[in-house]
Each structure stands twice: as C-alpha cells, then as structure tokens.
Chain A
Amino acid sequence: MMDWFGPEEWQAVALSLKVSFWAVLLSLPFGTLTAYALARWQFRGHQVLNGLVHLPLILPPVVTGYLLLLTFGRRGPVGAWLEETFGLILAFRWTGAVLAAAIMAFPLMVRAIRLAIEAVDPKLEQAASTLGASRLSVFTTVTLPLILPGVITGVVLAFAKAMGEFGATITFVSNIPGQTQTLPSAIYTFLQVPGGEGPALRLVIVSVIVAMGALIASELLARRARKRVSGS
C-alpha cells in the first residue's frame, strides 16, 4: 500500500481525515444547539439565523473562503484577536482548513439534526420535566437519545462534505503540500502537471472508498439507533 502510494498523496489523505475529524467534532455542539434553537425556540431573528446557517450552501465557495480570509485572516478583526489572545493562527494553516470545512459542512449537519429534533414528540419532554428533570437533563436523557439517528446522519454528511471541501479551503488557506493540501486540493494539483493522472486517480479511488465506507457505517449505526429508539 505504502509503495503504491507516494508520500505526498499519503499526506493529503491523512490531512483531509484530520481536518474533517476536527471540523465535525468541533462543530457538533454548535450544530446541535443551532438545530435545537431553530426547531424549538421562537425568537427574534429566527429567520436571520436560519439564513446565516444556510448561506454557505448557496454562496459560491470562493466567496465563503474570501469572507473567511477577510474575517479570520491575520489582519482580519477576528483573526487578529485570536492571534493576540490565544496565539491561534488560522489563515494558511491546517487549523484554517478545519474552520473552512466546518463552516461549509455546517448547514448539512444542522438540517439533519433539526429534522430529527422536529420529529421528537415534545410531550415526551414534558413528561420528563414533570418527573423532575431539569431542561438540561431532559435534553440529555430524552431528546438526545431520541435524535441520535439524526445526529449520526448529520455527522456523516458533514464529514463527507468536509472531506470534499475545495473552494473555500483553497481560497482561505491555499494549497501548501503537507500544510493545507487536502485531498481535493491534491487531486487538483496532480491534474495540473504532466503525468499526474496516476496519482490523481489513486486519490480519487481513496475518496470514493472513504465516502462509501462512511455512508455504510452511518447507515448501520443509524439503523441500530433507530431500532433502539422505536421502543420495540
């Protein structure tokens, strides 16, 4: 496997897996909270929040990447603050790729979880509260177990999206081998040079395998979770 696979290709795959893993893990709490807020709470700016969440789905990825660069670049308002306060630099680093992937995958994650939350009967949550569970306990002991299949779907969709993210990533963090060259960036680079079709094709095969594997795993997990949740 390793000799079939050049170090540069291996690097790209490993980086993409790392970026996608962190992107999904870090956005999951926010995604769940946002989905819950959109599904259950009535507040001013409901529509605005909904629009903002979905924006990366509709905007050209290049635009999202450029907006990220303006905001989170080293001279951008948030980027400068992050560097000063935490020493965290996002632009042209793999950490930036995590942010770009998380933002691009966020709408998919939120949509899947929101659908699951809307399917939970609020009467069950009421019943839990009359039994003495606080709002947080109701969420962790009733809502969360019941939406688990939806959360799994959301996580897998977001992971697949993060693995394939290209436009926003290359605009925000560029395409530096070993640093920010993710799997799609690497495929793109190989296709630009003569004789690069071979490595490109191998990476394409890896992409397909990872995507299929994730889908099958999620389907199995979600089926098991659904069975548990249905009460039979």
Chain B
Amino acid sequence: MNLSVTMQHQLADFSLDVSFEAPRGITALFGASGTGKTCVVNAVSGLLRPDQGRIILDGEPIFDTAMKINIPPHKRRLGYVFQDGRLFPHLSVRQNLMYGARYAPPDARGPSFDEVVDLLGIAPLLDRRPGPLSGGEKQRVAIGRALLSRPRMLLMDEPLAALDSARKEEILPFLENLREHTDIPTLYVSHSVAEVARLATSVVMLDGGRVTQAGPAEQVLSDPATVRQLGLREAGSILPATVRTHHPDGLTELSVSGGRLFLPKIDQPIGSATRVRILAHDIIVARNYPKDISALNILPGEITSLRQGSGPGMIIQIKCGVDFLLARITRRSAEAMSLKPGAQVHAVIKAVAVARVDVATR
C-alpha cells in the first residue's frame, strides 16, 4: 500500500505545488498552519479538485488531470478523520460507527466492530448521543467510524489539534496501537512536532505550499536543516529504543544504538520497542568523558555537521551508533571547544529532561 501525490493548486493567497510519496505506516504531513496541508488531504480524499496533478493509491490513479480521472470521494474508500470529528448528531454513537460499516464493500478486510470498539475503548459510549461527549471521546468515535468503513488508507487532519494536552494523551496511545495492530497506511496532518515525533514513520515537511523535506521520521527530524522550520524550542531527534530493565529506584534502562539510557519509569514490558524524543536544548556536549556529573546518560558520538543559526546559538548533529542526536549549544562554546565535523564528543542527557509525553508507548 503506497500513496503517491503530485499536485498543483492555486489558492486565494498562495499556490500549492507538491509531490511526495507516502509509504506504509504513518506519514506525517507537517508544517505551520496555512502551508496547505489540509488542502493536500482534501485533494487525496476527493473533497477538493486540484487544478492539476495526479494521485495514485496502490497503483490505481484516483485522480489524474492528464487522463481525466477524478473518482468521487465515496468511491475512493479513504477513511477521513477530521479535526472537528463531524459525528452525525442525529445518530447514536453505535449508529455513527455502523454508518461507516454500512457502505464498506462486503469483501473488504479490516477490524470488526467489536475489535474497533475494544481498540478505542468506546464500549461505554455506544448508546449515547454524540452531543454531550467530550472532545477526546468524539475523536475516538470518529476514528472508529472511519476504520469501520474498511478504508484502503486513513486520512487524519489534525485529529488532536482541538484537544487539550490531557485529552491528547488519552488518544495518542490508541493511534500508536492502530499503527501497530492494523496495516492501514495513514496520512497524518499535524503542526505539532511532539505528535509527529511520537507517531510518524515518515515525514513530509511543507512550507509555503512546497515540500521542503521528506523521508523517514528519524532522518528528517534529526536533520539540522529542519530546525528552522520546527522552531528552536521544538527541535530534537528521535531514537528507536528497547526497554531493558526496570530498576527498583524507579528508573527504566533502555538500549539505543549508541549505548544505554536511564529514564524515569516507562510503563512498558521488558523487551518492548519504543522511541524516545530528545530535545536539542536538553543535551550538553562534552569533549572528554565527564566525571562526577549528575547526568546519568552519556552517549559517545561523532559530530557529523554544525549549523549556524541567526543568533548566538548553533545546532550540532551527532552520530551515536547508527542514530543521530541534535544538540543546541552556543557558538562561543563550539569555538572554545573547536568542534568540527569528525570530532569525537560525548552527548550528556539529563534523565529527568525526557518528559513522559516524549516516550512513545508502542
């Protein structure tokens, strides 16, 4: 299952000209608001007709201006989860879910009603009306409804943007679950780096209606070139990790490709795979192995690139094992330590700096 999009579209205040591929897994369409993300998803769903382009799903053109193909939305079989839920107010939660199943082709494979209800934890809501549900509950039902339509692909347009952080935390595990337990590819629109870091397997960065970068999530997020777009405060890299041991003092030991990490307790069984997001401003860079220091995590690595910002800071990319870390330090420190590509350094990470929300629960 693979989606390939090439499209040009003139909007009121800017033009959209993008081309990208979305492989299996969750592909995040990332960019600030007003960069045309929703426009792209609407074009894929068929709700918007691009001026020009071609959209191919799994080898089948669903839109092609040259071949004059434009399959209407109801025949594309794409499950669309909108930012605002859009549950049908005149139907109960159960009927909303069944509405998705109603038009699914009988031979289409996918999770059953009970499985979806289980996966999303919405069994207690089934007989209720959508009106009084909380934002998080509505969004879970909307995801269930889309899943039950047995879609070839899921489209999610900022499904968490309208929720507060507690509600986000309530839904993120379901989305991670979905990624692990179904093989439905997903196009996920977001302007939140934290969400993308946790969910995405690949990332397509949009800016001003153009694709600025695309590729596997680890690679794109740990590329110093993306820092400007992510914002300095949000810049950081993600490391795939495996849970090793839960220590009695409340720390969890994980192994990453560059060594070991000790983090505040992570509620996952030993041996399970996860990913940890480490922000660039949470890393201290040392030339020699630091002794007598409170920080628990010291990963040796090699500087692969340095990037000068407009202010007094700079971003350094460090290769630890096979993965990359981003560190944000001042130019003064970089000069004093004569940091250059190829230099051997140690990345120092405070255990408590890694927030719980930055650890994926997969």
Beta-carbon contact of A137 and B103 below 8 Å: yes
8 Å CB contact of A232 from B47, B82, B84, B132: B132
- Quick check: A128 and B90 within 8 Å, CB to CB? no
Are A130's CB and B90's CB within 8 A?
A: no
Q: Is B188 an interface residue (CB 8 A)?
A: no
Closest to B100 in A: A131
Is residue A141 contacting chain B, with contact meaning CB distance below 8 A? yes
Which of A28-36, A171-179, A192-200, A223-231 lies on the face that meets chain B? A223-231
* B-contact bits for A54-93, CB 8 A (1 contact / 0 none): 0000000000000000000000000000000000000000
A130-B45, A130-B74, A130-B78 are contacts. A232–B99 as well, Cβ < 8 Å?
no
Alpha-carbon distance A133/B79, docked complex (angstroms): 12
A140 at the interface (CB under 8 A from B): no
Rounded to whole angstroms, the CA-CA distance of A1 and B132 in the bound complex is 51
State which of B74, B84, B129, B131 has its C-beta within 8 Å of the C-beta of A133. B74
Q: Please tell me if B130 contacts chain A, counting CB pairs below 8 Å.
A: yes
For chain A, residues 115 to 170, give those with C-beta under 8 angstroms from any C-beta of chain B.
121, 123-124, 126-135, 137-138, 141-142, 145-146
- Find the residue from B84, B90, B130 having the highest chain A CB count within 10 A: B90
Q: A132 and B90: CB pair below 8 A?
A: no
- Given A123-B84, A128-B99, A131-B100, A230 and B89 contact (CB-CB distance below 8 Å): yes
Chain B, residue nearest A124 (CB): B86
| Nearest chain A residue, comparing its CB with the CB of B47 | A126
Tell yes or no: B314 within 8 A of A by CB. no
In whole angstroms, what is the CA distance A229 to B129 when docked? 10
Which residues on B sit within 8 Å (CB–CB) of A145?
Answer: 90
Residues of A within 8 A of B87 (CB): 231
**CB atoms of B80 and A127 under 8 A apart:** yes
Cβ-defined contact, B90 with A232, below 8 A: no
B73 at the interface (CB under 8 A from A): yes
The interface residues of chain A lying within 8 Å CB-to-CB of B103 are 131-133, 137
Residues in B neighbouring A134, C-beta threshold 8 A: 74
Q: Is the CB of A130 within 8 A of B89?
A: no
B77 interfacial by beta-carbon distance below 8 Å: yes
Whether the Cβ atoms of B82 and A129 lie closer than 8 Å is no
Contact yes or no, A129 B74, CB < 8 A: yes
B174 at the interface (CB under 8 A from A): no
Determine whether B20 belongs to the interface, using a CB cutoff of 8 Å to chain A: no
A124 to B90, CA, bound (A): 11
The answer to whether A229 touches B74 (Cβ under 8 A) is: no
Shortest CB distance A190–B (Å): 47
Contact of A146 with B99 in the complex, beta carbons under 8 Å: no
B130 to chain A, nearest CB (A): 5
Say yes or no: B104 contacts A231, CB within 8 Å.
no
Asked if A131 and B146 make an inter-chain contact with CB atoms under 8 angstroms apart, the answer reads yes
> Across the interface, do B129 and A231 meet the contact criterion of CB distance under 8 Å?
yes
Minimum CB–CB distance for B101 against chain A, Å: 9
B residues within 8 A CB of A123? Answer: 82, 84, 86
Q: CB-CB < 8 A to A229: which residues of B? A: 89-90
- B140 contacts chain A at the CB level, 8 A cutoff: no
Q: Which residue of A lies closest to B86 (CB)?
A: A127
Q: Which of A124, A131, A135, A230 has the most chain B CB within a 10 Å cutoff?
A: A131
A230 proximity list for chain B (CB < 8 A): 89, 131
Assess A128 versus B77: contact at CB under 8 Å? Given A133-B103, A232-B131: no
Instruction: Say whether B104 contacts A132, CB under 8 Å.
Output: yes
Residues of A within 8 A of B186 (CB): none
Asked if residues B74 and A231 are in contact (CB atoms below 8 Å), the reply is no
A123 to B149 CA separation, bound complex (whole angstroms): 18
Query: In the complex, what distance in Å separates the CA atom of A108 from the CA atom of B104?
Result: 40
In the complex, what's the smallest C-beta–C-beta distance from B317 to chain A, in angstroms? 40
Known pairs A137-B103, A231-B130; A131 contacts B145 (CB<8 A): yes
B113 interfacial contact with A, CB 8 Å: no
Q: Cβ of A130 and Cβ of B88 under 8 Å apart?
A: no
Does B72 reach chain A (CB closer than 8 Å)? Answer: yes
Question: CA–CA, A230 to B129, complex, Å?
Answer: 9
Given known A-B contacts A142-B88, A145-B90, A126 and B73 have beta carbons under 8 A apart: yes
Given A127-B82, A141-B99, A231-B89: A132 and B74 within 8 A (CB)? Answer: yes
Chain B 128-173 interface residues, beta-carbon cutoff 8 Å to A: 129-132, 145-146, 149, 155
In the bound assembly, the distance between CA atoms of A229 and B87 in angstroms comes to 12
Q: Which residue of A lies closest to B129 (CB)?
A: A231
CA distance A121 to B82 in the complex (A): 14
- A231→B89 CA distance, assembly (Å): 4
Tell me which residues across on chain A come within 8 A of B80, comparing CB atoms: 127, 130
Q: List 16 A-B contacts (CB under 8 A).
A: A126-B47, A126-B86, A127-B80, A128-B88, A128-B99, A130-B76, A130-B80, A131-B149, A132-B102, A132-B149, A134-B74, A137-B74, A230-B131, A231-B87, A231-B129, A232-B129
> 4 nearest interchain CB pairs?
A132-B103, A231-B89, A231-B131, A232-B131
Chain A interface residues toward B at CB < 8 A: 121, 123-124, 126-135, 137-138, 141-142, 145-146, 228-232
